[in-house]
Amino acid sequence: MPKKHNHANITVVALIAIIAIAILTLASQNKIDFSSNNLIGAAVLKNRCESTPETLVILGSNDDHVYGLDAETGCIQWKTDLEGDVRAKPIISDGLIFIGTTGSELFALSMEDGTEQWSTDLSDDMYGAVALDDDYIYGADTSGSVSAYSKSSGSEEWSYDVHFSKQDAVYDEGYVFVVEEYLHSGNLVAVNTETGEHIWTFNADSMIYTAPLVDDDAIYVPSGENKLYRLYKEYGVLQSTFETEKGIRSTPVIDKENNVLYFGADDGYFYALQINNDATMELKCKYYVGNEIVSQPEIGENIVYVTAYDKKVYAMNKENCYPVWSYATNKKIYAGATLYNDILYVPSGDHNLYALNAETGKELWNFETSGVLYGEVSIAPFTEIEITIEESETSTGRFTGDTSELMTEANSLDDDVKDLLDDIEVLYEKLDDVGGNTTIESTIEDLETTIEEYIESLDTEIDALMSILSAVETDDEYTSAVASMEELETEIDEFVSSVESQIEDIELDISCMENPEDDECQD
């Protein structure tokens, strides 16, 4: 009898071998996390993940998290959930990381471990990066407020109303500059950081999609109408204009030594402009990459690094604008690259942060998040917190108390109002006892309707208050809910007092029907 072959077993063995090879391959490509402490993104150099980094890369993602990575290896040191997308570059100062979110909050995190030091509720979402001086943080949210917050507590120092704003705030020598957006136009607004007072406004006559570049005595403002404006910084007066073929969403960067400005545009060109002594801007060179460039370039020694919508980062020669090398990611790149210690850090729309050799473009490592990376990274030597964190009324952290007692109290707010209906029934009985009166009866009916309508509206307000109390997460939210409840209690007291006064008047009218000779009935 011919010998039978077990094809099924052979197939299973082969499949297992293929899977094993695939797993090892993925591990070597930094795609699988074998560790127990969430050290994803560090598989290439996973044996170094437990070392203490000298320098951290701080990365925000629209997966609601901020990450702290070893700048040399990409090993994750910590990550913090902010419960809102992070769209901007985290800003580091004094061992703290400052970042706003689309969850309408501004956070200060410890650089050491990512723990929250304070948080402040904002009027609306914050998409842009904040700006700093020694004592304060400046930022704009989409409600149209630009505000100053204490670095040590998050408490608001002042607020100035602008229109809708999504761009980075920029600080320079006692001024904060913010972009305000309208339906078809945009303004650049200068505000005094000491007083919160308006200094000047420049109208671009078109949309402004990115933050300006502030130089020693000039400000460069890109516009959506294919123009780059140079303004006199002190007064916001136009000095010169350079035109591209399409709009500009790339914040320029300046090579101060050679007085050359670099930026990209929606026409797919990378531009270098020579800044002349008369404040005019003249084309030095340009290079066509073929897709929009919406990020700020990064200047190296002889190279300018620029990212584009064609998924690539380019190393451009500073003199002739030609690429020295390029590196392709898997999706559009929205954020600019950051150069630090000969490593170029490139956030991509494919959820990955890439670390490249700045000279050759060779990939050193990558770190994968769960969301698109819209903002640049920040990189700094590891620093412990160097300022005293203070408590403040506007920055009290997460609520850890119990709202059940307050909810019980809120649920009974309408009891006194409902008792008024019992008083109305008594009035009807008293009126019947004296033989009735259509005028007085009509007055009682009107008052009864007023009470019933108020109870209906009050129940809606109480339901809303109960929902707020059941979802309280921060001390600020609790304080706000208590204030709303106190306002409602005051309103109810005033209503009850007014109705009781009317009931007393009706009781007097009924009494006078029975005893018209009483002194109270003579008026």
Residues of the chain with pLDDT > 70, as a percent, come to 88
Instruction: Report, in this order, helix, strand and coil percent for the chain, each rounded to 5.
Output: 25, 35, 45
In the predicted structure, residue 146 carries a pLDDT above the cut 50:
yes
List beta partners, residue 65.
Answer: 81
pLDDT at 385: 80
Token pair for residue 350? 């494919």
pLDDT at 9: 45
- Domain ranges in the chain are 54-248+326-381, 404-521
Q: Is 410 left (phi over 0), alpha (psi -120 to 50) or beta?
A: alpha
Residues of the chain with pLDDT > 90, as a percent, come to 61
pTM here is: 0.68
In the predicted structure, residue 342 carries a pLDDT above the cut 90:
yes
pLDDT at 5: 38
3-state secondary structure 106-141: EEEEECCCCCEEEEEECCCCCCCCCEECCCEEEEEC
SS3 179: strand
In the predicted structure, residue 2 carries a pLDDT above the cut 60:
no
Condensed to tens digits (0 to 9), the pLDDT of residues 381-411 reads 988 787 788 765 544 455 556 677 777 887 8
pLDDT at 144: 86
In the predicted structure, residue 204 carries a pLDDT above the cut 80:
yes
* Mean pLDDT value of segment 295-302: 96
* Mean pLDDT value of segment 280-300: 97
Condensed to tens digits (0 to 9), the pLDDT of residues 312-336 reads 999 999 999 999 999 999 999 999 9
Choice among 107-121, 362-376, 422-436 with the minimum mean pLDDT = 422-436
Task: Report the alpha-carbon distance of residue 488 to residue 17 in Å, rounded.
Answer: 70
pLDDT at 459: 85
pLDDT at 35: 33
pLDDT at 50: 65
Number of H helices, E strands in the chain: 5, 32
The secondary element (H helix, E strand) that includes residue 491 is: helix 475-514
pLDDT at 336: 97
pLDDT at 359: 97
pLDDT at 46: 33
**CATH entry 2.130.10.10 includes domain 54-248+326-381:** yes
pLDDT at 79: 94
* Mean pLDDT value of segment 451-461: 88
pLDDT at 401: 63
Listed ranges 20-29, 332-341, 458-467; the one with the highest mean pLDDT:
332-341
Report the candidate in 316, 330, 216 with the shortest Cα–Cα distance to residue 263. Answer: 316
pLDDT at 49: 63
Task: Report the alpha-carbon distance of residue 84 to residue 303 in Å, rounded.
Answer: 36
Give the model's confidence band at 40: pLDDT under 50 very low, under 70 low, under 90 confident, else very high: very low
pLDDT at 461: 87
pLDDT at 39: 40
Choice among 111-115, 182-186, 363-367 with the minimum mean pLDDT = 182-186
In the predicted structure, residue 12 carries a pLDDT above the cut 60:
no
Give the model's confidence band at 38: pLDDT under 50 very low, under 70 low, under 90 confident, else very high: very low
pLDDT at 403: 72
Average pLDDT, the chain: 86
Condensed to tens digits (0 to 9), the pLDDT of residues 480-516 reads 888 888 888 889 989 989 989 998 888 888 888 878 8
pLDDT at 299: 98
Token pair for residue 312? 């690539």
pLDDT at 502: 92
How many of the other CB atoms lie within 10 Å of CB of 504? 10
Length of the chain: 523
* Mean pLDDT value of segment 438-449: 91
* Mean pLDDT value of segment 23-47: 38
Between residues 106 and 51, the one the model is more confident about: 106
What DSSP character marks residue 395?
B
Beta carbons within 8 Å of 392's beta carbon, 6+ residues apart: 118, 150, 153, 154, 155
The two beta strands, 298-299 and 303-307, are antiparallel
Token pair for residue 505? 């008047």
Choice among 236-250, 385-399, 447-461, 486-500 with the minimum mean pLDDT = 385-399
